[in-house]
Amino acid sequence: MLILLGLLAQRSAGAATHQDPKALAVVEALEKTVAPDNGWSKVGGLRFTFSVIENGMPKNVVHHSWNVSSGQYRVDWTQDGGQRMAILNVGAKGKQGEAYMRLGTAATESVAQTAEEGKAAKKPRAAMAEWSRTPPVLERQILAASYSRFLNETYWLLMPLKMRDPGVNLDYDGEKKIDRQTYDVLKLTFENVGLTPGDTYWAYVNRETHLIDRWEYILEGGAPRPDDRAVEKENQLSDGEGKTEPAASKSASPANPVRSVWIWKDWQSYGPVKLATTKTISNGSLSIVLKNIDVLSSMPEAEFQPPTKPIVPHVKPAAATKTK
């Protein structure tokens, strides 16, 4: 589900939704665990890296920087041997901002002498050009794709804090036991919010820890096979060129939906909030890994300036406290 955090909501305030009292009690216990003392209200800035890992190999690695207070946002990624950057304000939904590229150019460097030749060999290496503004048509496409990334990838990180957002229907879907552990299952549906309001989610909240251990969903239009969609979607978004999302696989349809099942683990504390940093699909072939997480009380404005000179990536923060 692609929706905004409540602080920066861009949704219809009049959307008719409901919150089941039993489900709401579970959510309140969850919120007290992951953001005690209204922890999210203390967050002014957020950095993180979103990685898709398929069969142990990284498919996409994207860096995010967010001024939660002002809505300023920056996305960094690599493509075709070069660096890409988008700077936007999420309040404008990707319709305003700037995109930059720093392309690799051909160069050569000496390598060690070979025993056979007795002389230095040459091999190509990447040399980086200066940053330049992306052409207007491509820039609009990149900004739209970057806004989609903001919606999608912050949701993967912050979903437990978004269950009571406007436009979210919250139902209690029963008690279930898995491997002798009891879970309260919450069902989330949506009313005219986000880019895919037809999605349905089920969150399995551990009754002992009050944390989410398992996440299931059926995406709008019927989900494709669980091990396909995330890779396809991340490959599509990584080029930043506004391509349409790949069609669902033939194995899924509205009449034959498939639930994707993900296991949540590696809950860690970052200042006032606690986050699950690894989500792995049930067959183990695919993981979403969230790392380099830095939760700040305020975000430096310099982080959202155009790259007139080489930009130094943010320093990885000190190791968080692992709680599970």
Which domains, ranges and CATH numbers included, belong to the chain? 16-106+127-322 (2.50.20)
List per-residue pLDDT tens for the chain, 324 residues long: 433 333 333 333 445 789 999 999 999 999 999 999 999 999 999 999 999 999 999 989 999 999 999 999 999 999 888 899 999 999 999 999 999 999 875 433 333 333 343 444 444 444 557 899 999 999 999 999 999 999 999 999 999 999 999 899 999 999 999 999 999 999 999 987 777 788 899 999 999 999 999 999 998 876 443 334 443 444 344 444 333 333 333 455 556 778 899 999 999 999 999 999 999 999 999 999 999 999 999 999 999 999 865 444 455 555 565 555
Its pTM surpasses 0.75: yes
Q: How many H-runs (helices) and E-runs (strands) does the chain carry?
A: 3, 16
Using DSSP, state whether 263 is helix, strand or coil.
strand
What's the token pair of residue 170?
């919250």
Q: Pick from 144, 157, 130, 195: which is nearest to 66 by CA? A: 157
Helix (H) or strand (E) holding 266: strand 260-270
The burial class, CB within 10 Å (0-12 / 13-18 / 19+), for 234 is buried
To 10 degrees, what angle do helices 136-158 and 226-238 make? Answer: 140
Quick one: CA dihedral 170, 259, 180, 31, positive or negative?
negative
The burial class, CB within 10 Å (0-12 / 13-18 / 19+), for 301 is exposed
Query: Distance between the two ends of the chain, CA-based, in angstroms?
Result: 26
